[in-house]
């Protein structure tokens, strides 16, 4: 494992959710056991690492649920639940869906909005009031009753990527996916090759690709991470799932390691 990945992801020694040897090259491996949150750690804004504020993340009927029944208002309490082992070269796939209504006080842009954060920082390095980890976000969106709204998009909190040979500095980029409405399950998949090419797939169709994920040294937090890692390029990192104010569910969270 390269220095940059090890420096950003100090949780690598934590055992995976399955009581076995962990993921292997070329074989699908479940990161979520369908019973509890073993192998995962929440980090919710304004709260300490490991504190599952208001039971935001829970497991019911074999599904990882993100819910806000205990909240009075959302108050920008953005959260993430981190898998405790970082990865570099892999395919990740899961099924997600949006359910119910947005938590009161959630921002308008967060309606039917969640995400998979990859190549992320170690949550131990996050400030207690930090909203998002430095990472590459595979943005998951649900469509409204009418109109087009793509999913499997790209967002870059504290980071940049290269697309079409140019450094991409805008925060979010839309994919070419279809619009998925209602409470249907959608399959999202990511193929990551370290600091090389990254591809997004929705229901088996490639919808976006880019390369050279890297820290944005214009941000003080990213600059600190780059100094710890000894470089700006992101060769890998943590995987986390978001809580952004709209209830959502995840299931069949699996990973396949790829040869470097």
pLDDT at 87 over 60: yes
What span, in angstroms and rounded, lies between the C-alpha atoms of 191 and 51? 30
Reported as a pLDDT band with limits 50, 70 and 90, residue 18 is very low
H helices, E strands: number in the chain: 2, 17
Residue 16 has pLDDT above 60, yes or no: no
Question: What residues pair up with 188 in beta bridges, in sequence order?
Answer: 94, 202
> Which residue matches tokens 């090389």?
196
What does the block give as tokens for 72? Answer: 């009075």
Architecture of the domain defined by 3-257: Sandwich (2.60)
**Sorting pLDDT into bands at 50, 70 and 90, what band is 13?**
very low
Q: Residue for token digits 């995987």?
A: 239
Going from N- to C-terminal start, the domains of the chain cover 3-257
For residue 6, the model assigns a pLDDT of 44
125: helix, strand or coil: helix
Stronger pLDDT, 72 or 14, i.e. the higher one: 72
User: How much is the CA Rg of the chain, to the nearest whole Å?
Assistant: 17
Assign 14 a pLDDT band (cuts: 50, 70, 90): very low
How many residues belong to the chain?
Answer: 260
Cβ atoms of 126 and 117 closer than 8 Å: no
Token code pair at residue 105: 């006080």
């Amino acid at each position: 494992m390269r220095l940059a990945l090890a420096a950003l992801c100090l949780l690598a020694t934590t055992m995976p959710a399955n009581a076995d040897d962990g993921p292997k090259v070329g074989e699908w491996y479940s990161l979520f056991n369908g019973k509890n949150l073993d192998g995962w750690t929440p980090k919710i804004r304004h709260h300490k690492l490991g504190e599952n504020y208001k039971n935001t993340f829970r497991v019911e009927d074999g599904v990882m649920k993100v819910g806000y029944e205990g909240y009075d208002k959302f108050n920008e309490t953005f959260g993430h639940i981190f898998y405790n082992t970082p990865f570099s070269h892999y395919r990740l796939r899961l099924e997600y869906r949006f359910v119910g209504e947005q938590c009161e006080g959630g921002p308008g842009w967060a309606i039917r909005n969640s995400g998979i954060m990859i190549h992320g920082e170690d949550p131990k390095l996050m400030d207690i009031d930090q909203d998002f980890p430095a990472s590459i976000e595979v943005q998951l969106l649900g469509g409204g009753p009418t109109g087009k709204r793509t999913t499997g998009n790209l967002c870059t909190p504290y980071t940049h990527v290269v697309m079409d040979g140019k450094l991409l500095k805008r925060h979010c980029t839309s994919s070419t996916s279809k619009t998925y409405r209602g409470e249907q399950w959608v399959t999202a998949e990511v193929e990551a090759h370290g600091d090389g090419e990254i591809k997004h797939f929705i229901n088996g169709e490639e919808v976006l690709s880019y390369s050279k994920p890297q820290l944005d040294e214009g941000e003080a937090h990213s600059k600190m991470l780059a100094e710890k890692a000894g470089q700006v390029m992101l060769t890998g990192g943590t995987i986390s799932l978001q809580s952004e104010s709209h209830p959502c569910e995840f299931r069949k969270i699996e990973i396949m390691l790829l040869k470097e």
